[in-house]
A and B are shown apart, each in its own frame.
Chain A
Amino acid sequence: MSSQAFEKRKETLASMCDERARMLQDQFNVSMNHVQAMSILISTFHHGKNPSAIDQRTFARYTERTAFERPLTSGVAYAVRVLHSEREQFEKQQGWTIKRMDSFEQNPVHKDDNAPKALEPSPIQEEYAPVIFAQDTVAHVVSLDLLSGNEDRENVLRARASGKGVLTAPFRLLKTKRLGVILTFAVYKTDLPSNATPNERIQATDGYLGGIFDIESLVEKLLQQLASKQTILVNVYDTTNQSHPISMYGSNVSDDGLEHVSALNLEDPFRKHEMRCRFKQKPPWPWLAITTSIGILVIALLIGYIFHATMNRIAKVEDDYHEMKELIKRAEAADVAKSQFLATVSHEIRTPMNGVLGMLHMLMDTDLDATQQDYVRTAQDSGKALVSLINEVLDQAKIESGKIELEAVQFDLRAIMDDVLALFSGEAHEKGIELAVYVSDGVPEMLIGDPGRFRQIITNLMGNSIKFTKKGHIFLTVHPVEEVMDSVDVETESSSRNTLSGLPVADRRRSCAGFKIFNCEGSSHPLSPSSSDLINLIVSVEDTGEGIPLEAQPRVFTPFMQVDPSISRKYGGTGIGLSISKCLVGLMNGEIGFASIPDIGSTFTFTAVFSNGSSNSNDSKQQKQRIKNQCHTTPSEFQHMTALVVDPKPVRAKVSRYQIQRLGIHVELVSDLNQGLSSISNENRVFKMVFVEQEAWDKESSISAHFVNSIQKIELGFSPVLFLLGNSLSSSRTNTATSGAYTLSIITKPLKASMLAASLQRAMGGNTGNPRNGEHPSLSLCNHLVGRKILIVDDNRVNLIVAAAALRKYGAEVISADSGKKAIKLLKPPHQFDACFMDIQMPEMDGFEATKRIRDMESNGHIPILAMTADVIQATYEECQRWGMDGYVSKPFEAEQLYQELSRFLQPPSTANS
């Protein structure tokens, strides 16, 4: 590209230079032609006429006026040929002497100051060429002998010999000091033939006409006329002498750059001229090429950088990824370790804690004074709290590691509710809180699910409620979801006052407003008929406690997040319970939610899905049957009796009715004593018993006396037994006094079917059946396992004998086996064993393997096999289950532990036996 540009430049230069040379040449020729014409003019009018028509003045004026024709000449002059013989006459005629020129040239300084007179007269020569006419611009040369000047002499001689215009070499002009050349033409006497010899020409010469060419200004003028003068530098040389060119124009800057030489033909064959042209500026940089390459370089750099950066980035991301992976691995490992740790530690604590609690339990049975008993009870409570805390932590750990699995066993939900009620009744009683349970009739008697976990959720919610409630009530209700949804409108009617204690509560419907099951309600019934075997229950716990502050409500279900730290100081607890409950509810395919208004109360509601445990469907006839069935735990002597409940509050009345109905008693409700009186007075109705809510009794104390009287008036044997449903023991006691003659039995709430039955029996003198008072039967050690045949497998004889002795204490028949193989042999069906304790670590065949084989052999039936292990790590439990074992006892075992574990599996027949 560069060379191309160079070529182009060279071409441009050449054409420009040639153009200039040609123009210079043309103009020069024009001037020269005119000078030649002037020579002809002189020959015609000076020499051709006698007397001459031209004198100095005429010449000066003519040349002045025709100067525009010769733009290149600064002046013209005419010198005549004067032979020495003619000198005297000539000088006389002219009035001046012929002067020498070379001296003039040697002292050019004096040229202007000193008049020509000061010049030396020309020495004697063969001939002379004095200037007679001169243009005004060169008037000083008049009378000078041209032949006496070096340059001029040569020029004159050459001109007359050739008959053509000749040029001198360039020299400094006398006046202007500028470079110039003199053009000389010879003027001949006669017309000479064009082929005349030089000699003939010399002889014919009359004079010489000279034009002074100011080359410098000439070229300058010329260049000024042309464009792009600035870009080009022009030098003109006289190259007659090749080795020493004489500069005629231009600065003598030597430059090795591009140069073009054009020949100049100035019509003088003797002299050679040339023009050299250069560009003033060096060739411009090839900017395009430079910018392009720089651009490419930059782009390449950028791309390189981007590439580099990308690689770096990728490497960094990869590093990060590996780091993350490592971190995840570590976090997972830490999580596993944490779970393991929690499980191990809690198990390790639980085992000795059981010992502590057991011992405390035994200590309670010994003879203690009141203070000691108090201490022991406190110790026991603390121990229980610790165990429950550990259990919670363990649960949380299990839930977090997804290890928790729900059981699916048949259970009686109402019994569980009674248990929960019993659990909290003491505390509620102390605080004066009314506690009530209501289970809808729509809930089947038997359900299949995990009663323990279900109970855990309820216990947790109840525990929270009772912790934060100081007055009012806690109300636990269980309904099938369909029932609640159908009754939504009905409930809206019930006023906020219609609560158990009359205090306002948080709306239950709001607590479950977010449940999915209700949200899809609009379209169709959420439970399809095909799922009739699945029972979706909605359980809610309503309290009139202090509520949850609004800002704390969003994190209620977050583990270890209590409302604020002061709570745990005030009320204790880890804040883990609700989180566990939520997980458990989730496992039961349910949802949990709450509504809470500070200082009014909270209502927690959850749903849970169970299978229907009763094979029959719940039509009304079956329901009756079921109510009867419920009474299997209670004496059926009250069946078909009718009772009257006097209670101004429908909700509370409903609870009372629910509990009384469970005994098989038909219940009628009235809202006050007056109504009650009229009901009793009705002859057609025979009420065996009357339950009066204490509130109604106290409110209408005037009527109550009347009421008692009227009851007494009724024929003996038909008069109903009067019960007062009291809230707290103290207040009912005072009432006993006022009731005077009539036997007024007080039933302390919370109502429970079993307790109710006991009270009824006592009051009505019914003495049939054993008076079960709803308390757990105390364990009588001796004969719980009578008739039980139990196999113990352990390779350790000491273990064997101790375990066997322990079980024999409970009356069981114990067979020992010291290896897994023997156990398999003994348990080959059919066998008589009721249960088996199996050591895990045994030589030859371990307990797991043995159990697996035993399970393989079992065609029908399932013998409970319990592992005996010293390995307390939690994982063992899962391991036991995996191999088909039913549970485990840890070694060294205590008799009680063995029995307790065993009794879990032997329950149904054991009750039959007792």
Chain B
Amino acid sequence: MDILNQLQRQYTDFTALLYREGFVDDNFTQVQKLQDESSPDFVVEVVSLFFEDCEKLVNNMAEALEQQDVDFKQVDSHVHQLKGSSSSMGAARIKNVCIAFKTFCEAQNREGCLRCLQQVNHENTQLKTNLQALFTLERQIVANGGSIPVMQ
């Protein structure tokens, strides 16, 4: 019971941190709310799908930016995709980077794009680590027979 309480508090604190630090936003809450008995792994599903997409897109963008003659339109559409998924998922930091990224694409600024790409990569890794930690906590709570605290 003690452990469960501790885990639950840890979970709450960690989630609060994630919000405070801007890793995720309300949309992530929305996604969490969508999870119910009929789809118990919904959040994990969405998140893994997101990271899958994200990595693919990052690779595509890196490839496109390496070209001698950069097709910024192509890059922009990738960024747009990423922005869409990140905002749906609630990955606020990535979404924000995407907004800056799009501006550089429009300005056809290769330097800026590369910088943003790097940032996306960085944020991506961080978010992944954080969410994995969160999910681990969730699993531990569930394993201890507790329920996951709902964020207001």
Bound complex: CA A799 to CA B30 (Å)? 12
Residues of A within 8 Å of B84, CB to CB, are 794, 796, 798-799, 870, 891
Interface segment, one of A480-488, A699-707, A802-810: A802-810
Q: For residue A894, which residue of chain B has the nearest CB? A: B30
- Considering only residues 25-75 of chain B, those with a C-beta below 8 Å from chain A are 26-27, 30-31, 33-36, 38-39, 42, 45-46, 49-50, 53
Residues of B within 8 Å of A894, CB to CB, are 30
A892 on the B face (CB < 8 A): yes
The answer to whether A796 and B34 touch across the interface, beta carbons within 8 angstroms, is: no
- Considering only residues 783-816 of chain A, those with a C-beta below 8 Å from chain B are 794-799, 801-803, 805-806, 808-809
The answer to whether B46 and A798 touch across the interface, beta carbons within 8 angstroms, is: yes
- DSSP majority for the A interface? helix
Bound complex: CA A806 to CA B35 (Å)? 9
The answer to whether A805 and B34 touch across the interface, beta carbons within 8 angstroms, is: yes
- DSSP majority for the B interface? helix
The answer to whether B39 and A805 touch across the interface, beta carbons within 8 angstroms, is: yes
Which among B38, B77, B88 is the interface contact of A802 at CB below 8 angstroms? B88
Residues of A within 8 Å of B83, CB to CB, are 870
A895 on the B face (CB < 8 A): yes
Task: Please count how many residues in chain A sit with their CB below 8 Å of the partner chain's CB atoms.
Answer: 21
The answer to whether A892 and B87 touch across the interface, beta carbons within 8 angstroms, is: yes
Which among A799, A806, A892 is the interface contact of B34 at CB below 8 angstroms? A806
Given the known interface contacts A805-B42, A841-B80, the answer about A798 and B88 at a Cβ–Cβ threshold of 8 Å is yes
A843 on the B face (CB < 8 A): yes
Q: For residue B91, which residue of chain A has the nearest CB? A: A798
- Considering only residues 732-791 of chain A, those with a C-beta below 8 Å from chain B are none
A355 on the B face (CB < 8 A): yes
B15 on the A face (CB < 8 A): no
The answer to whether B46 and A801 touch across the interface, beta carbons within 8 angstroms, is: yes
Q: For residue B77, which residue of chain A has the nearest CB? A: A843
Which among B30, B33, B53 is the interface contact of A797 at CB below 8 angstroms? B53
Most chain B beta-carbon contacts within 10 A, residue among A794, A805, A894: A805
The answer to whether A891 and B88 touch across the interface, beta carbons within 8 angstroms, is: yes
Which among B42, B45, B77, B85 is the interface contact of A799 at CB below 8 angstroms? B85
- Considering only residues 79-124 of chain B, those with a C-beta below 8 Å from chain A are 80-81, 83-90
The answer to whether A891 and B87 touch across the interface, beta carbons within 8 angstroms, is: yes
Residues of B within 8 Å of A892, CB to CB, are 27, 30, 87-88, 90
The answer to whether B87 and A797 touch across the interface, beta carbons within 8 angstroms, is: no
The answer to whether B85 and A798 touch across the interface, beta carbons within 8 angstroms, is: yes
Type the 1/0 row for A831-844, where 1 means its CB is closer than 8 Å to any CB of B. 00000000001010
Bound complex: CA A892 to CA B98 (Å)? 14
Task: Please count how many residues in chain B sit with their CB below 8 Å of the partner chain's CB atoms.
Answer: 27
Q: For residue A796, which residue of chain B has the nearest CB? A: B84
Which among A355, A794, A841, A870 is the interface contact of B87 at CB below 8 angstroms? A870
Given the known interface contacts A798-B53, A798-B89, the answer about A809 and B81 at a Cβ–Cβ threshold of 8 Å is no
Bound complex: CA A23 to CA B92 (Å)? 134
Q: Closest approach, in angstroms, between the C-beta of A503 and any C-beta of chain B?
A: 50
Bound complex: CA A894 to CA B29 (Å)? 10
- Considering only residues 554-597 of chain A, those with a C-beta below 8 Å from chain B are none
The answer to whether B26 and A802 touch across the interface, beta carbons within 8 angstroms, is: no
The answer to whether A355 and B26 touch across the interface, beta carbons within 8 angstroms, is: yes
Q: Closest approach, in angstroms, between the C-beta of A363 and any C-beta of chain B?
A: 9
Given the known interface contacts A797-B49, A843-B77, the answer about A895 and B33 at a Cβ–Cβ threshold of 8 Å is yes
Residues of A within 8 Å of B90, CB to CB, are 892
Bound complex: CA A879 to CA B104 (Å)? 27
Residues of A within 8 Å of B33, CB to CB, are 895
Q: Closest approach, in angstroms, between the C-beta of B26 and any C-beta of chain A?
A: 7
Q: For residue A803, which residue of chain B has the nearest CB? A: B88
Bound complex: CA A841 to CA B80 (Å)? 9
Which among B30, B46, B53, B80 is the interface contact of A895 at CB below 8 angstroms? B30
Q: Closest approach, in angstroms, between the C-beta of A830 and any C-beta of chain B?
A: 29
Residues of A within 8 Å of B49, CB to CB, are 797-798, 801
Residues of B within 8 Å of A870, CB to CB, are 83-84, 87
Q: For residue A806, which residue of chain B has the nearest CB? A: B34
Residues of B within 8 Å of A843, CB to CB, are 77
Which among A799, A809, A895 is the interface contact of B88 at CB below 8 angstroms? A799
Residues of B within 8 Å of A794, CB to CB, are 84
Q: Closest approach, in angstroms, between the C-beta of B47 and any C-beta of chain A?
A: 9
Q: For residue A797, which residue of chain B has the nearest CB? A: B49
The answer to whether A802 and B46 touch across the interface, beta carbons within 8 angstroms, is: yes
Q: For residue A801, which residue of chain B has the nearest CB? A: B46
Residues of B within 8 Å of A803, CB to CB, are 88
Q: Closest approach, in angstroms, between the C-beta of A228 and any C-beta of chain B?
A: 103
The answer to whether A801 and B45 touch across the interface, beta carbons within 8 angstroms, is: yes
Bound complex: CA A806 to CA B83 (Å)? 20
The answer to whether A797 and B36 touch across the interface, beta carbons within 8 angstroms, is: no
Q: Closest approach, in angstroms, between the C-beta of A693 and any C-beta of chain B?
A: 50
Which among B34, B81, B86, B87 is the interface contact of A795 at CB below 8 angstroms? B81
Q: For residue B31, which residue of chain A has the nearest CB? A: A802
Bound complex: CA A892 to CA B30 (Å)? 10
Bound complex: CA A857 to CA B49 (Å)? 34
Bound complex: CA A892 to CA B34 (Å)? 14
Bound complex: CA A797 to CA B86 (Å)? 11
Q: Closest approach, in angstroms, between the C-beta of B91 and any C-beta of chain A?
A: 9
Q: Closest approach, in angstroms, between the C-beta of B101 and any C-beta of chain A?
A: 14
Which among A355, A801, A802, A809 is the interface contact of B36 at CB below 8 angstroms? A809
Type the 1/0 row for A861-900, where 1 means its CB is closer than 8 Å to any CB of B. 0000000001000000000000000000001101100000
Q: Closest approach, in angstroms, between the C-beta of B147 and any C-beta of chain A?
A: 18
The answer to whether B85 and A809 touch across the interface, beta carbons within 8 angstroms, is: no
Bound complex: CA A805 to CA B30 (Å)? 10
The answer to whether A802 and B81 touch across the interface, beta carbons within 8 angstroms, is: no
Give 21 pairs: A residue, B residue, CB < 8 Å, sorted on A.
A794-B84, A795-B81, A796-B53, A798-B50, A799-B84, A799-B88, A801-B45, A802-B34, A802-B88, A803-B88, A805-B31, A805-B46, A808-B39, A809-B34, A841-B80, A891-B88, A892-B27, A892-B30, A894-B30, A895-B33, A895-B34
Q: Told that A797-B53, A801-B46 touch, could you supply 20 new A-B pairs with CB distance under 8 A?
A: A794-B84, A796-B53, A796-B84, A796-B88, A797-B49, A798-B46, A798-B50, A798-B86, A799-B84, A802-B46, A803-B88, A805-B39, A805-B42, A805-B46, A806-B30, A806-B34, A809-B36, A892-B27, A892-B88, A895-B30
Q: Report the 4 A-B pairs with minimum CB-CB distance, sorted nearest first.
A: A798-B85, A805-B34, A796-B84, A892-B87
